[in-house]
C-alpha cells in the first residue's frame, strides 16, 4: 500500500473551489497582521485536554472487536504506558470522540453517540476512570461524523463539530459546563470527505484547525480563525492517504508541543506523523504500534 505524503508548503495552496465548503472569516492578510503584532495580542491556544490519567501527556482511547473500551496512556514522547481496560458494550456506539474537558472540572472527558442517536458525555475523573455519564438530546444519528475540535470559537470552552448526512458541517460550541451554546452552521459539501479530523493547531497560529481527507486520499487543512470562522483557502497537507484505516488526532503526541497525527495502515501498524508546527510534517513517520486492526475505533 502507498503512504506517500507531500508537504503542503511545497505543493502550494489550493483555494477552496467547487465544494462551496467554506466562507469568509478573517482574511489571510489580517491573520498575518494579527500574528506579527506580537504574541501578547494573540489569544492563547486553549489546548484540548485528552490526558485521562493526569500526567500531562496525550492519551488514546479505542474499542476492540469485543466491544471493550481501552485507554492507551501516552508517554509524552511518542510512546505508551500500560493500557487500561474498561467495560464491554462500546461497540454499540456509532461515534466516539474526545472533546477535551467538556464539563469544566479540568478532567478530560469522552463523548459518544449511542445506538439510539443520543449524544453522551462520560465525565473523566482524572485518574483513568469515569465519574458519571449523561445524555443529551437525540437525533445525532443524522450526523455522519462527530469530532472534538478544541476551542474553535475562542471563548475558552471546548467545542465539537458534526457533519450531517446532508453534507452540512456544524459547530456545537460548548458552554464550559457540560452543555452547548447555539450551534453554528457552515457550508455543505462535506460528504465529499472520507474523514474529518480535529487536528488541533496545525499551522502554528494558535487557533485550532480542521483537517479532512477527500475521496482521492488528499488531506486538506482548513484553518480556523480563532473565533469560529475560517481563514481563506485550504492547504494540501497529505496525499495518497486513502488506504489508511484510522486517522487519530492526539494533538501533540511526540512531546514537542506541535500537533501530530496517528494513522493506522492496512496491516494494522500505527504510525505517528509529526507536525512541524507550521503546517507541514517532520518526516519520516515513526511507527508507534502494531496489531491495531483489533480495534474498531481509535480516538483522541
Round to whole Å and give the CA distance between 263 and 258.
Answer: 16
Cβ-based neighbour number of residue 276 at 10 Å:
18
Rule CB under 5 A: is residue 256 a binding residue for Ca ion?
A: yes
Subset of residues 105 to 124 that bind Ca ion, contact rule: CB under 5 A: 105, 107, 109
Window 169-188: contact mask with Ca ion (x via CB under 5 A) = ----x---------------
Least Å distance between CB 167 and Ca ion? Answer: 24
Q: Which of 5, 218, 252, 272 binds Ca ion (CB under 5 A)?
A: 252
Rule CB under 5 A: is residue 159 a binding residue for Ca ion?
A: yes
Q: Which CB, 197 or 266, lies closer to Ca ion? A: 197
Rule CB under 5 A: is residue 153 a binding residue for Ca ion?
A: yes
For the record, the C-alpha cell of 16 comes out as 477552496
| Pair 148, 208: CB distance under 8 Å | no
Whole-angstrom CA distances from 103 to 99, 108, 177 are: 10, 9, 4
| Pair 258, 82: CB distance under 8 Å | no
Rule CB under 5 A: is residue 59 a binding residue for Ca ion?
A: no
Rule CB under 5 A: is residue 64 a binding residue for Ca ion?
A: no
Residue 204 makes CB contacts below 8 A (sequence gap 6+) with 258, 277, 278, 279
Rule CB under 5 A: is residue 273 a binding residue for Ca ion?
A: no
Least Å distance between CB 203 and Ca ion? Answer: 4
Least Å distance between CB 254 and Ca ion? Answer: 4
Window 75-104: contact mask with Ca ion (x via CB under 5 A) = --------------------------x-x-
| Pair 250, 263: CB distance under 8 Å | no
Q: Which CB, 59 or 201, lies closer to Ca ion? A: 201
Please work out the total of residues on this chain that contact Ca ion, with binding judged by CB under 5 A.
Answer: 21
Q: Which of 34, 51, 59, 151 binds Ca ion (CB under 5 A)?
A: 151
Q: Which CB, 80 or 242, lies closer to Ca ion? A: 80
Subset of residues 184 to 213 that bind Ca ion, contact rule: CB under 5 A: 201, 203, 205, 207, 209
Rule CB under 5 A: is residue 34 a binding residue for Ca ion?
A: no
Tell me if the bond preceding 260 is cis, omega within 30° of 0: no
Cβ-based neighbour number of residue 156 at 10 Å:
12
- Encode 48-58: b = buried (16+ Cβ within 10 Å), e = exposed: bbbbbbeeebb
Least Å distance between CB 58 and Ca ion? Answer: 9
Please provide residue 120's backbone torsions phi and psi, each rounded to the nearest 5 degrees: -120, 150
Q: Which of 57, 163, 234, 258 binds Ca ion (CB under 5 A)?
A: 258
Q: Which CB, 43 or 67, lies closer to Ca ion? A: 43
For the record, the C-alpha cell of 268 comes out as 494494522
Residue 294 makes CB contacts below 8 A (sequence gap 6+) with 64, 65, 268
Round to whole Å and give the CA distance between 203 and 235.
Answer: 10
**Residues in the site for Ca ion, rule: CB under 5 A?**
101, 103, 105, 107, 109, 151, 153, 155, 157, 159, 173, 201, 203, 205, 207, 209, 252, 254, 256, 258, 260
Amino acid at each position: 500500500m502507498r503512504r506517500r505524503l507531500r508537504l503542503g508548503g511545497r505543493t502550494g495552496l489550493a483555494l477552496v473551489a467547487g465544494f462551496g465548503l467554506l466562507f469568509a472569516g478573517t482574511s489571510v492578510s489580517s491573520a498575518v497582521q494579527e500574528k506579527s503584532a506580537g504574541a501578547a495580542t494573540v489569544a492563547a491556544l486553549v489546548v484540548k485536554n485528552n490526558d485521562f490519567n493526569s500526567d500531562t501527556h496525550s492519551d488514546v482511547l479505542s474499542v476492540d472487536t469485543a466491544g471493550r473500551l481501552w485507554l492507551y496512556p501516552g508517554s509524552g514522547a511518542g510512546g505508551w504506558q500500560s493500557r487500561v481496560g474498561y467495560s464491554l458494550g462500546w461497540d454499540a456506539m456509532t461515534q466516539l470522540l474526545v472533546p477535551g474537558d467538556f464539563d469544566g472540572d479540568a478532567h478530560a472527558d469522552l463523548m459518544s453517540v449511542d445506538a439510539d442517536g443520543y449524544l453522551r458525555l462520560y465525565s473523566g475523573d482524572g485518574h483513568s476512570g469515569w465519574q458519571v455519564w449523561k445524555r443529551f438530546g437525540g437525533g445525532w444519528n443524522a450526523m455522519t461524523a462527530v469530532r472534538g475540535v478544541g476551542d474553535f470559537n475562542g471563548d475558552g470552552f471546548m467545542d465539537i463539530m458534526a457533519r450531517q448526512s446532508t453534507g452540512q458541517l456544524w459547530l456545537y460550541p460548548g458552554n464550559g459546563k457540560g452543555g452547548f451554546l447555539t450551534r453554528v452552521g457552515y457550508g455543505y459539501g462535506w460528504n465529499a470527505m472520507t474523514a474529518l479530523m480535529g487536528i488541533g493547531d496545525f499551522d502554528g497560529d494558535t487557533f485550532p484547525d480542521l483537517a479532512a481527507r477527500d475521496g482521492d486520499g488528499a488531506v486538506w487543512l482548513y484553518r480556523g480563525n480563532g473565533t469560529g470562522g475560517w481563514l481563506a483557502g485550504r492547504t494540501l497537507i497529505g496525499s495518497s492517504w486513502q488506504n489508511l484505516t484510522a486517522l487519530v488526532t492526539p494533538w501533540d503526541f511526540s512531546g514537542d508541543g506541535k500537533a501530530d497525527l496517528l494513522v493506522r495502515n492496512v496491516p494494522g501498524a500505527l504510525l505517528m506523523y509529526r507536525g512541524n508546527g507550521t503546517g507541514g510534517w517532520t518526516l519520516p513517520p515513526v511507527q508507534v504500534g502494531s496489531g491495531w486492526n483489533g480495534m474498531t475505533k481509535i480516538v483522541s
